[in-house]
Structure 1
Amino acid sequence: MKNLRWIIKEILPLWPRVCLALLLSALTVTSHIGLMATSSYLLARAALQPPIMDLMITIVGVRFFGISRAVFRYFERLVSHDVTFRVLSRMRMIVYKGIEPLAPARLKELRSGDLLSRIVGDVEVQQNLFLRVLAPPLVAVLVLLGYGGFLAYFNQGFTMILAAFFLAAGVALPLLVRALGKGIGQMKIQAKARMYTFILDSLQGMPEMLAFGQTGAVFQRIQEAQSELSHSERRMAKVTGTANALMGMSSHLGMLAVLVLGIILVEGRQIDGVLLGMLALGVLSSFEAVATLPAGQQYLEENEAAGRRLKQLIDEGRNLEKEKGRLDAPGLEPELAFENVRFRYEPDGPWVLDNISVKIPGGRRIGIVGQSGAGKSTLVNLLVRFWEPAAGEIRLGGVNIKELTPQVVRENMGIVSQKPYLFHATIKENLLLAKPEATNEELYEAARRARIHDFILSLPQGYDCLIGEEGMKLSGGQQQRLAIARVLLKDAPILILDEATSGLDPVTERELKEELFALAENRTLIVITHHLELVKDMDEILVLGKGRILEQGKHEELMRKEGQYRRLWEKGY
C-alpha cells in the first residue's frame, strides 16, 4: 500500500463525501436485507391466514425497502463516482506537475507509448481504488455491526454465525485470492504498457513501415503484446470465477447454519417459527456487503503496480525540481553571458559544447552559424534550462540562471525552433498561447509582422480556422511564420530564432529579416541559421565548430580572416 498512500491522501480532503458514500452504500445493503427479510416474513405470516390488517405493516415494509434500495443505490453511485472523478482529476494535475520538470530532456528518454500508458492508463486504473478496494471493507464492517446487532436481539448465536462467515468470506477468501492471483495485476499493467507503446510507435512510423514492407512485423509485435494481456486477463478471470464460487458457497453455508440454529431454537420454543425464513434470507442477502471483497484484492495489486509507475515518474520530477533555482527576479536586463560552459548528453559521451565563453550585451543582434552538429541548438536548450551545463555558468542580467526559477528564465525569452509545435486548435488559440490576454489587434499586428496575416484572412474561418494535428493543414513555411507571429506576440526582451526561416522563400525571409531588425531595436536578438545571408548585418557573428567558438566578429572582419566563416560563405551556406 506504500505506493498508494499519495493517492489516499488525495481522498482524505473529500471525507464528507466519502462518509456519505459509505453511509449510502450501507443503507443500500440494509434495504436489500430488509426487502428479503420482510418478504420472507410476509409469506410465512400469510400462510397462517391472519386478518389482512395484520399484514399491512409488513406489506408497506416490503414496498418501502424495494423502493429505498433503488433510491439509495442511485445516490450511492452518484456520490461514490463523484469522489472517484474528483480524485482522478487531482491525480492528473499531480502527474502533470510531476512530469513537467522532466521536459524535455528526460521525457525524450522515455518512450512516448510508455509515457502515454502512465499518464492515461495508469491514472484510469485508480478509479477502482475507492470504489472496489477501500470502500467495500468499510461498508462490510458497518453492515456486520448493524445487522449483527439486529440478530443479537433474537439470539447471540445468530450474530456469531454471521461474524464467522463474514470473516471467512471477507478476510480469508480475499487472502486466498491474493495468493492465487499474485503477480497477475503487475503482469496486466506491464502488458498493457507494452501494447500501448507498440501501437503508438506503429502509428507514428506508419509511412516508413509501409514503405519498407514491415507491417507484418509490427502486427506480430502487437499481437504478442495483446496475447500477453489476454493471458493475464484470462488468469484473472479464473481467479475471479473461483472467488465467486467460494463466495456463493460461504453465503449459503452461513444461511444454512442460521437455519439449523433457528430450527433448534424453534423446537425449544425460544423463537417463533415464522421468523425462520426472515432470519435465514436476511443473512443470505447481507453477504452482498462482502461479495466484492475478493475481487478487490486483484484490483489492489493492479492499483499498486500502476501507482508505483506513476510515483516513480512524479518523484523523479520532484527531485529534479528541487535542484532548480527558486529565485524570482523579474525585470532582469536582457544581457547574456556564457562562462566556460561545457555540456554533453551522455556522461561518457563527447563534449557537445566545450569551454564556451561569450558575453551578449542587451540590445545586441547576434548571429550564430556553423555546420550541423556544431552545438548551435544546444546553446538554446541550455539557455531555457531544458538541459543544465555540466560545467560553467550561464548568466541572465548578471544572475546565474541556476539561481532563477525556470519560469523566470523562459519569461524573458521568446524562441522559434526549427520545428515549432502547433496544436490541433484554431490559429487564434495557437497564437494566444504566447499571450492569453492579447487583443485581436495585437494578434493581427503580430501576424502582419510575420507576413502571414493576409493568408489567414484568405481562409474560410480566418483566425478561427483549425490547423490540424501539428499544423498539418499548413505548409512548412506557413507553420514557421505562424510560430514567428506567436513569439512576436509574446514580446519578450530576448528573441531567439533557431533555424526559424528554413521553410521560407527568399523574398519572405528578407522581408522578415528587416521586420525583426526593426523589432529588435531595444531587444536582444539571437539568430541561429545556416543561411549566412541572414546574419550578414548582425552586430556580431559567432562561428561554432566541434563545440567551440572558432571565430567571432562582424561579417567584414570574418571575411578578411579567411577562416571557417569565409569557407562556409564560399560554399553557399
Structure 2
Amino acid sequence: MNSQSSPLRKLINHFNNKKGQIYTASTFSILNKIFDIAPPLLIGLAVDTVVKQEESFLAEMGISDKIHQIYILAILTFIIWALESLFEYLLKVWWRGLAQEVQHDLRMEAYDHLQNLHISFYQEQNSGNLTTVLNDDINQLERFLDIGANDIIQTLTTVVSIGAIFFYLSPQIALLSLTPVPFILWGSFYFQRKVQPRYQNVRSEAGLLASMLVNNIAGMMTIKSYVAQKFEYNRLEKQSNRYARANKEAIRVSSSFSPIIRMAVLCGFLFTLTIGASQVFDGSLEVGSYSVLIFLVQRLLWPLTRLGETFDLYQRSMASTSRVMDLLETEIKVIDGKEELESFDGEVSFENINFKYDEEDNTGLKDITLKIQAGQTVALVGPTGSGKSTMLKLLQRFYDPQSGHVNFDGRNLKELKQNSLRSHIGFVSQDTYLFHGTVLDNIIYGSNEATEVDAMKAAKLAEAHDFIELLPQGYQTIVGERGQKLSGGQRQRIAIARAILKDPKLFIFDEATSAIDNETEAAIQRSLKTITQGRTTVMVAHRLSTIIHADQICVLNEGRIEQRGTHEELIKQDGLYRALWNVQTGNV
C-alpha cells in the first residue's frame, strides 16, 4: 500500500493540489474521534465522584462540593458532546465535498484524456468498458472518500488515543489488551495482497458485462432480425455469472477478515476484564479507572470490527483507481502541434506519404504524392482496402504517416494544433453519427452560435429541409440515439447540412451519398456543386457516377495511386478506372 507505484500513492500524487483539503478533513476526523472517546473518561470521573466523593479526583482538583462536581461533569459532558457533533458535521462536509470534487475532476480529466487518445485506441477498446471506468470505477473511489477514508483515520486515532489512556492508567493491562493490534495490522496487509487481484478481476469482469449490455442494446434490431435473443441471453447470463463469481470470490476472502479481527479484539477485551478486575480487588487500580478501561475497550472493539468493511471498500476503490490511472497513463500518440491555422486558402498536398496501421500490416499507403489546388474537387476511387479512407484520416490528422507529410497551404499538419486545422474541415462519413437530441441540435453541432434560420439554409442546400418540415415537431423532433428514428438517407442529409453550416474551406465526403436514393442523390449533387464553389473538396466514392465532374480523379490500388486524371481522360485509358466504370454501367 505504501509502494510508490501503488494506486493510492498515484492518487495522492495526482491530487497534490488538494492536500490542504485532505489535511483539514483529516483534522476534523481526528478531533471528532478524540471527543467521541472522551465520554468514557467522564463516566470514570462520575463513578469516581460517586464512590469516593470528597476524595475523588475532582475534589483533589479543588472542587470539594459533591453537587458542584456533578455540575462540572454535566457542563463538560455538554461541551464535549457539542464539539463531537460539530466536528462530525465538519468532517462529513469536508470529506464528502472532497469526494465530489475528486470524482468530478478525475472523471473530466479522464474524459478529456480519452478525447485526445489515438483513434486506434478506440478500435482496441470497447465502449462499455470505458463507460465503466468513467462512471462506476470513479464512483467506487467517491464511496471510499465518502466513508472509508474517515473510518481509517478514526480507527488509527482510536488505537493511538485509547492506547495512550491504557498505558497511563495501567501499563500491564495496556500491554496485554493492545497485543492483538500488531497482528490485526499484519493481517490487514496480508489480506490486501490476497484481495487486491480478486477485486481487479471484479472490475475487469464488470467492464466486460457493461460492454456486452451497451453493444446488445445498440444492436437490438440486428439481434431481433437474426432471432438471436436466446443466444444473446445465454451469452449475457454467462458473463453475468462470471462477474458474480468474481465478486463472490473477492467477498469470500475479504469477509474472513472481519471475524478474525473480532476474535483478536475479544482477547484484548478479556484481558482488560479479568486483569483489570483483579487489580481493583488488590487495590492497585481505582474503580473509576477500571470503568474507563471497560468502556474504552468497547470503543476500540467496534471500529476494529468495522475495519473489515472499510478494508473491503478500500480494496474496491483501489482496484477502480488502478483502472482510471491506467487510462490516464495511456500514451497520446498523436502529439498536438503548437501553431494556430488562423486562415486557410484550401491548398492540400500529400508528399511522399508511406503509412501502415501496424508493423505487420501489408496494406496502407505507399509513396503517395498528390497536390490539390485550392478550390479543386478531387475524387478518390478504387477497390475496397485500397487506401481511400486512410488518406482522409491522414487529412484530419487522426493518424500520422511513418514517412512524408501532409500539408495545408504548405504547412505540415504536425506543426498545427489539431482543433485549429479541423475547424477548417467539414466532414461527412459513410457511417453517419447523430447525437440524441433534436434535428436542430444535430445540424448546429460544432457551430453553436448558429441560429435556426442558419440551420434551415444549410438544410435546404442539403435537400433536407422538406422532409424535416414533415417530421412531428419539425426541427425540434428528437432523432433518438444515433438518429435511429430517421432513415439512413435522412441521417446522411442532416450530416451534410451540419458540414455545410460549418462553412469550411475543405469539404471531405467519405461515401456521403451511399445511403441516398437516386433522385435525392441528383438533388444533392446539384447542391454540392453550388456549395463547393471556391472550396477544396475531397470525395471518396464507389459510385463513379457521383464524381464524373471532379477536377481530378485519383485511382488507388493496393495503397498506390495507379491512375489520375479527369473522368474523360481516365475512361479513354485501358486501366482500373475504365474497368470499374464498365462494371457499374453494365458495359461488360
How would you bin the TM-score normalised by the shorter chain? 0.7 to 0.9
Query: Aligned ranges for residues 367-378 of structure 1 at < 5 Å?
Result: 367-378=379-390
User: Does structure 1 retain, via aligned residues, the 8 Å contact 2:43–2:291?
Assistant: no
Structure 1 residue 493, shift from structure 2 partner: 1.1
Question: Secondary structure, in 3 states, of the residue corresponding to 1:374?
Answer: coil
Q: Which residue of 1 aligns with 2:342?
A: 330
- CA distance change for structure 1 residues 211 and 524 in 2, over 3 Å: closer, same or farther? closer
Code of the aligned partner of 1:34: A
Q: Which residue of 1 aligns with 2:59?
A: none
Question: Secondary structure, in 3 states, of the residue corresponding to 2:554?
Answer: strand
- CA distance change for structure 1 residues 233 and 525 in 2, over 3 Å: closer, same or farther? closer
What do the CA deviations read for 1:431-474 (whole angstroms, capped 9, x no partner)? 33222222343333222322323443444444333211001111
The counterpart of 1:505, out of the listed 517, 530, 537, is: 517
Q: Which residue of 1 aligns with 2:134?
A: 119
Structure 1 residue 172, shift from structure 2 partner: 2.6
CA distance in 2, matches of 1:473, 1:216: 26
Structure 1 residue 296, shift from structure 2 partner: 4.5
1:100 aligns with 2:112: no
1:140 aligns with 2:155: yes
What do the CA deviations read for 1:262-313 (whole angstroms, capped 9, x no partner)? 4355445455413422332123214445444444544454444434433333
The counterpart of 1:6, out of the listed 5, 10, 19, is: 10
1:281 aligns with 2:295: yes
Code of the aligned partner of 2:394: L
CA distance in 2, matches of 1:83, 1:520: 52
1:174 aligns with 2:178: no
Q: Which residue of 1 aligns with 2:38?
A: 34
Q: Which residue of 1 aligns with 2:62?
A: none
CA distance in 2, matches of 1:190, 1:454: 48
1:21 aligns with 2:33: no
1:226 aligns with 2:240: yes
Structure 1 residue 418, shift from structure 2 partner: 0.8
User: Does structure 2 retain, via aligned residues, the 8 Å contact 1:98–1:317?
Assistant: no
CA distance in 1, matches of 2:88, 2:248: 30
CA distance in 1, matches of 2:82, 2:467: 64
- CA distance change for structure 1 residues 196 and 520 in 2, over 3 Å: closer, same or farther? same
1:456 aligns with 2:468: yes
What do the CA deviations read for 1:198-252 (whole angstroms, capped 9, x no partner)? 3334434444444445444433443333333333333333334432223333334
Code of the aligned partner of 1:249: M
User: Does structure 2 retain, via aligned residues, the 8 Å contact 1:191–1:228?
Assistant: yes
CA distance in 1, matches of 2:397, 2:94: 44
Code of the aligned partner of 2:494: L
Q: Which residue of 2 aligns with 1:311?
A: 325
Q: Calculate the TM-score normalised by the size of structure 1.
A: 0.87
Q: Which residue of 1 aligns with 2:249?
A: 235
- CA distance change for structure 1 residues 240 and 542 in 2, over 3 Å: closer, same or farther? closer
**Unaligned 5+ runs, structure 1:** none
**Unaligned 5+ runs, structure 2:** 54-64
The size of the alignment, in residue pairs, is 570
Structure 1 residue 480, shift from structure 2 partner: 1.0
1:88 aligns with 2:88: no
Structure 1 residue 361, shift from structure 2 partner: 0.9
Code of the aligned partner of 2:330: E
User: Does structure 1 retain, via aligned residues, the 8 Å contact 2:178–2:268?
Assistant: no
What do the CA deviations read for 1:356-407 (whole angstroms, capped 9, x no partner)? 2211011112222334333222211121122232333222211222333332
User: Does structure 1 retain, via aligned residues, the 8 Å contact 2:381–2:556?
Assistant: yes
Q: Which residue of 1 aligns with 2:531?
A: 519
User: Does structure 1 retain, via aligned residues, the 8 Å contact 2:49–2:69?
Assistant: no
CA distance in 2, matches of 1:456, 1:357: 42
- CA distance change for structure 1 residues 111 and 63 in 2, over 3 Å: closer, same or farther? same
CA distance in 2, matches of 1:431, 1:103: 26
Q: Which residue of 1 aligns with 2:496?
A: 484
Percent of aligned pairs with the same amino acid: 25
1:197 aligns with 2:203: no
CA distance in 2, matches of 1:219, 1:123: 28
CA distance in 1, matches of 2:246, 2:381: 55
The counterpart of 1:184, out of the listed 164, 179, 198, is: 198
More deviation, 123-132/277-286: 123-132
CA distance in 1, matches of 2:527, 2:84: 72
What do the CA deviations read for 1:122-172 (whole angstroms, capped 9, x no partner)? 333333554566554433343444444555554555665665454444x13
CA distance in 1, matches of 2:255, 2:51: 38
More deviation, 49-58/20-29: 49-58
CA distance in 2, matches of 1:133, 1:86: 16
